[in-house]
Amino acid sequence: MEHNTIDKHLGNFNIAGFTFWDGYEAFGDLKVGTSLHLVREADNKFDPYAVAIYYKDTKLGFIPRGENQLVAQFMDLGYNMIFDLRVQRICPDAHPEKQVGVMLRLKEANKVFNK
Q: What is the Cα–Cα distance from 50 to 17, expressed in whole angstroms?
A: 12
What does the pLDDT read at residue 19? 86
Does residue 6 register a pLDDT over 90? no
Contact 39, 33 (CB under 8 A): no
Q: pTM value?
A: 0.87
Handedness of CA 96, 101, 104, 110 (dihedral sign): negative
Task: Write out pLDDT tens, residues 8-45.
Answer: 899 999 999 998 888 888 999 999 999 999 999 999 99
Model pLDDT for residues 45-65, shown as the tens digit of each residue:
999 999 999 999 999 999 999
Contact 57, 6 (CB under 8 A): no
Would you place residue 96 in the very low, low, confident or very high pLDDT band (cuts 50, 70, 90)?
confident
Q: How many CA atoms lie within 13 A of 106 on its CB side?
A: 15
Rounded Cα gap, residues 44 and 74, in angstroms: 17
The residue among 14 and 109 whose pLDDT is bigger is 14
CATH topology for 9-113 is Alpha-Beta Plaits (3.30.70)
